[in-house]
Amino acid sequence: MNRTQIPLYQAKAEFFRMLGHPARIRVLELLQDGPLPVRDLLAAIEIEPSSLSQQLAVLRRSGIVTATRGGSTVVYELAGGDVAELLLSARRVLSVLLSGRQDLLASLTEATERAEREPR
């Protein structure tokens, strides 16, 4: 293997690490509906402007979003439709995981209630 190449699994891990901040995920979710200026992102996410700027810079450096300047306004948009598909897949996975936890919670609750009803 060439020393300058990184294994695909490592590249994937770095990609998911880049996504690993709630503000970045929220930005990506908001941009699924189309390009937005920074002021709209700030209003929707309600974080400090400097913090949003840092998170947008991470997304921009990764190539997952692009920025266009028009005068004093900077507008961000998703670099491609695959990001929206990835977020949809994440929602589906989370739905399955959370539904499994609800089933587990229901089973635990049932078992606890049964144990409390039984004489000791």
Say what the pLDDT of residue 71 is. 93
Say what the pLDDT of residue 3 is. 63
List the chain pLDDT tens, one digit each, 120 residues. 556 788 999 999 999 999 999 999 999 999 999 999 999 999 999 899 999 999 999 999 999 999 999 999 999 999 988 998 998 899 888 888 878 788 877 887 888 887 777 665
Say what the pLDDT of residue 112 is. 81
Q: Which of 78, 82, 81 is nearest to 64 (CA)?
A: 78
Say what the pLDDT of residue 2 is. 56
Contact predicate 78/32, CB 8 Å: yes
